[in-house]
Amino acid sequence: MTTPSIQFFAGIDEKLGNVSLRRNPNTGKRIVLMTFEQMQALEEFNSFKKKSLNSMLLKDEEGEINVTPSSTKFIFGGDEGDELKRVDCQFEIEQDEHWERFMRFMHRYADANGMAYADS
């Protein structure tokens, strides 16, 4: 069985801090906002040695999901303003079968990483 993982750079697993699921009231498109409190690839300076995926790769026992974020924001803080606080990665899912596959991944990822679902 494959342990669920999220990667921006090949071979470097990232740890998801939070995920927010929304729906655009005008278009009905589902919007996913993933928040990462640290970026393993940046902290280990591996981004220069590893091939960038130009997308986000979600892997689990069913296979791989390639996601192209509609936006990725790096939020910095600290005394010098150069300390990475978090990374927000947003993408949309239009088709129901893609949404269902994503939700199966998220349930597996949450179970494997001690995360729980809560309504806001």
When pLDDT is cut at 50, 70 and 90, the band that residue 45 belongs to is low
Q: Structural domain tally of the chain?
A: 1
Residue 44 has pLDDT above 70, yes or no: no
Give yes or no for a contact between 102 and 108, defined as CB atoms under 8 angstroms apart: no
Confidence (pLDDT) at 9: 82
Whether 63 shows a pLDDT value over 80: the answer reads yes
Residue pair 14/7 in contact by the 8 Å Cβ criterion? yes
Residue type, 20: S
| pLDDT score at 85 | 87
Q: Is residue 59 part of a domain?
A: yes
Q: Residues 109, 16: contact at Cβ < 8 Å?
A: yes
Domain that residue 81 falls in = 5-113
The domain spanning residue 56 has which CATH number? 2.40.30.220
Mean pLDDT of 21-46: 85
Q: What is the pLDDT of residue 47?
A: 47
Residue 118: inside a domain: no
